[in-house]
Amino acid sequence: MSRLGGSRLRRGLGAAVVGLLLLTGCSSLQSTGDKGYISGEGTVRILDPSDRGDAVDLSGTSLTGDPIDVADSRGRVVVVNTWWSGCGPCRSEMPMLTQAADELTGSADFLGINIRDSSASQGQAFMRRVGADYPSIYDPTGKAVLAFAGKATLSAIPTTIVLDAEGRVAAVITGEIPSRQTLVDVVEQVAGESAGEAADG
């Protein structure tokens, strides 16, 4: 179980970010037709520590109404996954994410960002169905997603972002994760970097 517990302009920009993702998803990119999302190819990109920039300032309200701030997990790797229950690739990868979260208990925190469900209760029902017990920010306006502006490109739904122990974007998987083991390997690599830096210090 994870420890993770504006202005009109920001709301407008957030809605525009989500709207851009969803509208381009209707243009048949990656053979998605009119399903409302772009499915990536599960490509994995790991950033060199020197290229990671500043920590991500990500916060919001969970599907259950609780405040969430990723800063509460500083010192630990955090896996952030964008999703919604009507997205086919999201449904397909969720069991793998849930298995990875269980396997990495104690090594990484997991956090979802629900970007489109019509209600928080709809998102909760889906998470219960797939057995995922980590929290998700309910973000239909796109406000939370703005935290990644200039740090990671969210060109597909789902996208999985791995933050290092300093809260910086360390890896991005665009589209459905290729496998549970792929995600576990990426997280362990990022966590290993942090452990190595601590030992050197």
Over residues 130-169, the pLDDT tens digits come to 999 999 999 999 999 999 998 888 888 999 999 999 999 9
CA dihedral 155, 76, 95, 44 (to 10 degrees): 40
Beta bridge partners of 111: 80
CA angle at residue 93 from 118 to 148, to 5 degrees? 65
How do the domains of the chain map onto residue ranges? Answer: 8-200
Residue 30 is predicted with a pLDDT of: 35
Its pTM stands at 0.80
- Do the strands 108-114 and 77-83 form a parallel or antiparallel pair, or are they unpaired? parallel
What is the dotted CATH code of the domain comprising 8-200?
A: 3.40.30.10
Mean pLDDT lowest among 15-29, 41-55, 68-82, 86-100: 15-29
Please state the separation of Cα 35 from the chain's center in Å: 20
Q: What is the mean pLDDT of residues 59-73?
A: 97
Percent of the chain whose pLDDT exceeds 70: 76
The confidence score (pLDDT) of residue 86 equals 94
CA 124/CA 63 separation, integer angstroms: 6
- 27-51 tens-digit pLDDT: 222 333 334 444 556 789 999 999 9
